[in-house]
Homo-oligomer: A and B are copies of this chain.
Amino acid sequence: MEPIRVLVVEDDPIAADAHAEYVRRLDGFALAGVARSGAEAMALLSAASAGGAGAQAGPPGIDLILLDMNLPDAHGLDLLRRVRGLGLPADVIAITAVRELQVVRSAISAGIVQYLIKPFTYSAFSDKLGAYREFRLNLIGQAASTTQSEVDQAFASLRPAAPASLPKGLSEDTLRAIIGQLKTLEEPVSAAEVASTLDLSRVTARRYLEYLADGRSVRRSSRYGTRGRPEFEYRWAQ
């Protein structure tokens, strides 16, 4: 199996090095280049496609782009649109600190294959690229013509349902329920209030809220004015 040729597009030199190193560490991938700007990326892409496209077995050609959204000379989405306009056969994984919903939404409709939010761990990175490799194997291993279930299979491997791992004692379901509860309410809520709404015990609710506060997803503050020990109240951050 030929390796998947990867182009890293990232203006921050430290991050670019890190991504390149990550790619080198993975089996089945080959680093095809690093671009520090949108212009550089376009140049590399057209050079590669001029060399390798068209021909059946052209050796170069970029298979996968790891694309940062914040580039010095262009927004990542613009670059993505230009690439699409050229009809280059490269897939794109967005790797960026941008977490605005609007950008995520646009990136997805522009046809990215994965969206990875910085900062991330090596294992998150490896998961995403691994999923992409599997997706590729699923499609390319097939004959020239395919079936619905094969296509479904390929899509399935591209969209894994493997969220980040939680510390012991916490469950994915409960965490989602609590996050959902927090997000629907604008007001800060106490652990006891969350507990009674979700039919949980106060202790359990508190454990999850404390975990979220630890990860900076929620803000914790004290609620004074009532008798008794002051209560903590939690509010979804941002």
How many copies of the polypeptide does the oligomer hold? Answer: 2
Q: A81-B87, A111-B110 are in contact. Are A153 and B146 (CB under 8 A)?
A: no
A108 at the interface (CB under 8 A from B): yes
Question: Is the pair B139, A104 in contact by a Cβ cutoff of 8 Å?
Answer: yes
Hey, which chain B residues are within 8 Å of A12, CB to CB?
none
Question: Is the pair B84, A148 in contact by a Cβ cutoff of 8 Å?
Answer: no
How far, in angstroms, from A193 to B49 measured CA to CA in the complex? 44
Min C-beta distance of A38 to chain B, whole Å: 15
Min C-beta distance of A77 to chain B, whole Å: 7
How far, in angstroms, from A88 to B81 measured CA to CA in the complex? 10
A167 at the interface (CB under 8 A from B): no
How far, in angstroms, from A127 to B123 measured CA to CA in the complex? 32
How far, in angstroms, from A198 to B146 measured CA to CA in the complex? 23
Hey, which chain B residues are within 8 Å of A140, CB to CB?
101, 105
Min C-beta distance of A225 to chain B, whole Å: 5
Chain A 114-129 interface residues, beta-carbon cutoff 8 Å to B: 114-117, 120, 124
Question: Is the pair A144, B84 in contact by a Cβ cutoff of 8 Å?
Answer: no
How far, in angstroms, from A177 to B85 measured CA to CA in the complex? 39
Q: A120-B148, A152-B160, A155-B160 are in contact. Are A89 and B101 (CB under 8 A)?
A: no
Chain A 156-202 interface residues, beta-carbon cutoff 8 Å to B: 156, 158-165, 171, 173-174, 177, 183, 198-201
Question: Is the pair B87, A105 in contact by a Cβ cutoff of 8 Å?
Answer: no
Chain A 84-142 interface residues, beta-carbon cutoff 8 Å to B: 84-85, 87-91, 99-102, 104-106, 108-117, 120, 124, 139-140, 142
Top 10 A-B pairs ranked by shortest CB distance? A111-B111, A85-B85, A84-B84, A152-B160, A159-B159, A156-B161, A149-B164, A155-B159, A117-B148, A149-B163
A contacts, CB < 8 Å to B:
77, 81-82, 84-85, 87-91, 99-102, 104-106, 108-117, 120, 124, 139-140, 142-149, 151-156, 158-165, 171, 173-174, 177, 183, 198-201, 204, 214, 217, 220-222, 224-225, 230, 236, 238
Q: Given contacts A84-B84, A111-B111, A143-B183, list 6 more A-B pairs with CB under 8 A.
A: A105-B139, A115-B151, A149-B164, A171-B230, A174-B222, A174-B230
